[in-house]
């Protein structure tokens, strides 16, 4: 059994129940789409202490605590309503909020190559400062790679407070059978005013699994070497990694 945060389960269940009630009572006045529900859950989970377990005894103990500590549930509910208000006031612009809330259809019992999240950092090659206000594109076979969901953008827009870090989570790729090893070739491209175009080519190994992985994990991360932009004036800079 893996380490598990039971508070996350409690919050997700309550968010679902409260949003279902809001849908019935208020219709479309408040958005309760799947994205707004997840944003609300994140808002709540960032404001309460986690509760981790690693055994069946831990599950039993938490179940008893949930019965004895109804105040915790009331506090969570209060945070959920607060989160719903805040999320609706500042909805994500890259998500189609008109889509009714439903569970995302997942590929169960279908062999898939689950590509890990790709993480890199971009710096100015002259002063080594993190680069901001530029876009980073992830491509495969010359085309932009589709991301796992709308929360992961491609192209990725670098902003100052991320200190040059960019991330991608490519969509899973169908496989013929499980336990098949394959190498996937990708490229990162950056075009910034006053700098040479940066192309970074790299290969990501993957092993086909029985189904799509839709849960983010730091254990499934492919880290790129630090990348650098150089001012115009020389040959186009290309960085190739085998």
Could you report the per-residue pLDDT of 47-71, keeping only the tens digit for each? Answer: 988 888 765 554 445 555 555 556 6
pLDDT value at residue 23: 83
Place of tokens 């408040």: 30
More confident residue, 83 or 96: 83
**Each residue's pLDDT tens digit, 204-223:** 999 999 888 777 666 788 99
pLDDT value at residue 221: 87
More confident residue, 24 or 185: 185
Confidence of residue 20 (pLDDT cuts 50, 70, 90): confident
The arithmetic mean of pLDDT across residues 97-124, rounded, is 72
Contact 84, 91 (CB under 8 A): no
Phi-psi region of 27 (alpha: psi -120 to 50; beta: other; left: phi over 0): left
Question: What's the whole-number average pLDDT of the chain?
Answer: 81
Is the pTM value of this prediction over 0.85? Answer: no
Place of tokens 């998500």: 95
pLDDT value at residue 119: 92
- Cα-trace Rg, the chain: 22
More confident residue, 122 or 87: 122
Long-range contacts of 9-14 (CB under 8 A, 24+ apart): 10/66, 10/73, 10/76, 11/41, 11/44, 11/45, 11/48, 11/76, 11/80, 12/41, 14/73, 14/76, 14/77, 14/80
Alpha-carbon distances of 115 from 200, 204, 218, rounded to whole Å: 18, 8, 13
| Domains in the chain with CATH codes | 4-89 (no CATH), 112-240 (2.60.40.1120)
pLDDT value at residue 68: 53
The arithmetic mean of pLDDT across residues 39-50, rounded, is 89
């Amino acid at each position: 059994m893996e380490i598990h945060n039971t508070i996350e389960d409690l919050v997700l269940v309550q968010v679902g129940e409260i949003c279902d009630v809001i849908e019935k009572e208020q219709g479309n006045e408040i958005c309760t789409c799947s994205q707004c529900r997840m944003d609300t859950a994140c808002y709540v989970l960032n404001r309460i202490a986690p509760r981790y377990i690693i055994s069946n005894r831990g599950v039993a103990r938490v179940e008893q605590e949930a019965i004895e500590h109804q105040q915790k549930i009331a506090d969570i509910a209060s945070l959920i309503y607060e989160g719903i208000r805040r999320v609706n006031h500042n909805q994500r612009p890259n998500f189609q909020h008109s889509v009714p809330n439903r569970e995302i259809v997942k590929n169960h019992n279908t062999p898939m190559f689950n590509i890990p999240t790709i993480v890199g950092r971009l710096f100015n090659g002259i002063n080594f400062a993190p680069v901001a206000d530029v876009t980073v594109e992830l491509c495969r076979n010359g085309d932009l790679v589709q991301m796992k969901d709308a929360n992961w953008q491609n192209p990725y827009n670098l902003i100052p407070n991320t200190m040059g870090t960019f991330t991608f989570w490519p969509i899973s790729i169908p496989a013929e059978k499980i336990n098949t090893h394959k190498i996937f070739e990708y490229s990162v491209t950056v075009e910034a005013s006053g700098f040479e175009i940066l192309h970074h080519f790299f290969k990501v190994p993957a092993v086909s699994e029985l189904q799509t992985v839709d849960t983010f994990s730091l254990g499934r991360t492919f880290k790129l070497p630090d990348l650098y932009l150089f001012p115009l004036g020389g040959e186009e800079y290309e960085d190739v990694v085998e």
